[in-house]
Amino acid sequence: MAFEKMIKNAFEESENNCRFGDSIEEIREIQDYIRNAERIYVPNKNGIKFEVLNKVLAEYGLPQAEILQVNTNTADTSRIPALSKAYIALDQCECDLVIARGRLGIPGSGSLLVFIDNKGRILTAGMSPSHVIHQKSVEEAVREEAVEALEKIGLEKVI
Amino acid sequence: MAFEKMIKNAFEESENNCRFGDSIEEIREIQDYIRNAERIYVPNKNGIKFEVLNKVLAEYGLPQAEILQVNTNTADTSRIPALSKAYIALDQCECDLVIARGRLGIPGSGSLLVFIDNKGRILTAGMSPSHVIHQKSVEEAVREEAVEALEKIGLEKVI
């Protein structure tokens, strides 16, 4: 079942007040989409975060991402900077999946790592508090956000 | 410092490549905004989720929320249903803060509990996987999302 059909069905359930949460089939569709992605891009200027992300993808048996060198500074003027970074990448390259990391909301709101598909729809995400709250290294925070995003949709470590 | 000034400063830092994460002052502004909110609304038809949320707010020494009876079914046609629910509430009542819960993205992506201010800006959030993944009760999931959202911005339990 393509996402389009799944989204249509889910809304019909909501309309008829008979939607009782996500189904395992919907979650499996997201898993399959990520597993089968051929062109995954990460908009980033920081090679270290990118390496951490690819390491996590490998641990979960997922295809590797490529780095997209693009200036995403303007994303910080938007309401959800992380998502705006993802859209900047989606609109500037041919891809199946974009994984982007940035601020969740206003300054102070911490970070969001978001996975979007080739139409810009949110598949999953992970979040961290600001560094001044969690005191973790950037690498550790990126790693935990990626693991959260993947485990949230039922993916498991394979190595 | 109002959010407007803080957001302006943060973007100037980004533009000049001298933004190195959120500052403790920015986080304190968010804390103060939530502490001082006089009209907090939660768009919801489910009284149990609302009670759990108010219990958590009380534990963190924060003002109580009121329930806003509003039909948010159409939010499920949007890209971020949880955020759309929050906007529906913001646009239909006089308030300082809206706390809304709904889907993060497409069906299967799990849930998002989001706090927005009186201009619709995201202050903080918490997330859960879908019920079929975490197997927790709705009350437990709402509780954990609210705690995540508050602790992420450095708020602590007072009782």
The ipTM, to two decimals, is 0.95
Do the bridges between strand A111-117 and strand A122-128 make them parallel or antiparallel, or are there none, so unpaired? antiparallel
Distance from CA of A147 to the nearest CA of B (A): 12
Arithmetic mean of pLDDT over chain A: 95
Report the C-alpha gap between A104 and B24 in whole angstroms: 16
Looking at per-residue confidence, does A79 or A16 come out higher?
A79
Closest among B159, B91, B156, B86 to B123, alpha carbons compared:
B86
Can you tell me the distance from the alpha carbon of A37 to that of A124, in angstroms, rounded to the nearest whole number?
Answer: 14
Provide the chain A residues 44-73 that lie in CB contact (below 8 A) with chain B.
Answer: 73
Mean pLDDT of A54-78: 95
Q: Which of B27, B80, B130 minimises the CB distance to A108? A: B27
Q: What is the pLDDT of residues B30-89, one digit of tens each?
A: 999 999 999 999 998 777 889 999 999 999 999 999 999 998 989 999 999 999 999 999
Q: Which residue has the higher pLDDT, B63 or A159?
A: B63
Chain centroid to Cα B141, Å, comes to: 14
Tell me the C-alpha distance between A4 and A20, whole Å: 19
**pLDDT for B57:** 98
| pLDDT value at A45 more than 90 | no
Q: What is the pTM of this model?
A: 0.96
In angstroms, the separation between the Cα of residue A135 and the nearest Cα of chain B is 12
Q: What is the mean pLDDT of residues A14-43?
A: 94
DSSP state of B41: E
Among A32, A7, A1, CA closest to A154: A32
Q: Which of B106, B123, B128 minimises the CB distance to A109?
A: B123
* Listed residue (A98, A99, A102) closest to A75, CA to CA: A102
pLDDT band at B132 (very low <50, low <70, confident <90, very high): very high
**pLDDT confidence tier of residue A12, bands split at 50, 70 and 90:** very high
pLDDT at site B44:
86
Q: Report the residue from A108, A121, A132 with minimal CB separation from B105.
A: A121
Query: Is B96 touching A (CB cutoff 8 A)?
Result: no
